[in-house]
Amino acid sequence: MKFLFKFLSVVLFIFSFTVFAQDANQDQMMKEWQTYKAPGAEHEMLKSMVGEWEGDITMWMDPTQPPQKTTGTTKYESIMDGRYIVGKFSGMMMGMPFSGMDITGYDNALKVYQNVWIDNMGTGMMTTEGAYDKNANTITYKGKMVIPNGSKVDVKNVITIIDKDHSTFEMFTDMGSGEMKSMEIKYSRK
């Protein structure tokens, strides 16, 4: 009987300790989740882009040729209680109607801005991640882009926030012979 009592006491102690440890882990996990999901200053900065924008676009398809120029508009809206912004672009590209959409957010755990771009000129998604440079007031995204032959090329997108009503978007690609500027959009708020 003494043995059974001691055995049950040890089992009860271990069980109690395990439950306490699980509760402590759950409490810690819940605190981490609250921090992870809470919009912060980075999300507020993204929300400052909400609105309608007009863009003057310059594209370099071939560095030996003069650039192509066109215009377009982008409308940004905030979604998921300020955690992300969605931009919807429309304009002309290479003489054809062009539409695209991007979703941008800031990952609190990874400490990076993230962007996904899709458009009607392809069937793939371009995903990039980047950091904010406070001194230059820029977000520089880097990632890969799939081109029609199925290969991936390096891409760098730089967004410069000039003031609350003006920004620039620059795209650089590396098709294997070094980075070249392929697009620039000068945005003005409508």
Sequence ranges of the domains in the chain: 1-37, 41-189
**What is 41-189's CATH superfamily?**
Calycin beta-barrel core domain (2.40.128.20)
pLDDT class of 164 with cuts at 50, 70, 90: very high
- Say if residues 168 and 187 touch (Cβ distance below 8 Å): yes
Per-residue pLDDT, averaged over 66-77, amounts to: 96
Task: Report the predicted TM-score, pTM, of the whole model to 2 decimal places.
Answer: 0.83
pLDDT class of 62 with cuts at 50, 70, 90: confident
Neighbours of 117 (CB within 10 A): 22
Please give the pLDDT value at position 1. Answer: 55
Is the pLDDT reported for residue 147 higher than 60?
Answer: yes
Distance of CA 11 to the CA centre of its chain: 50
**Rounded to an integer, what distance in angstroms lies between the CA atom of residue 141 and that of residue 165?**
21
Please give the pLDDT value at position 16. Answer: 54
pLDDT in tens, 165-178: 999 999 999 988 88
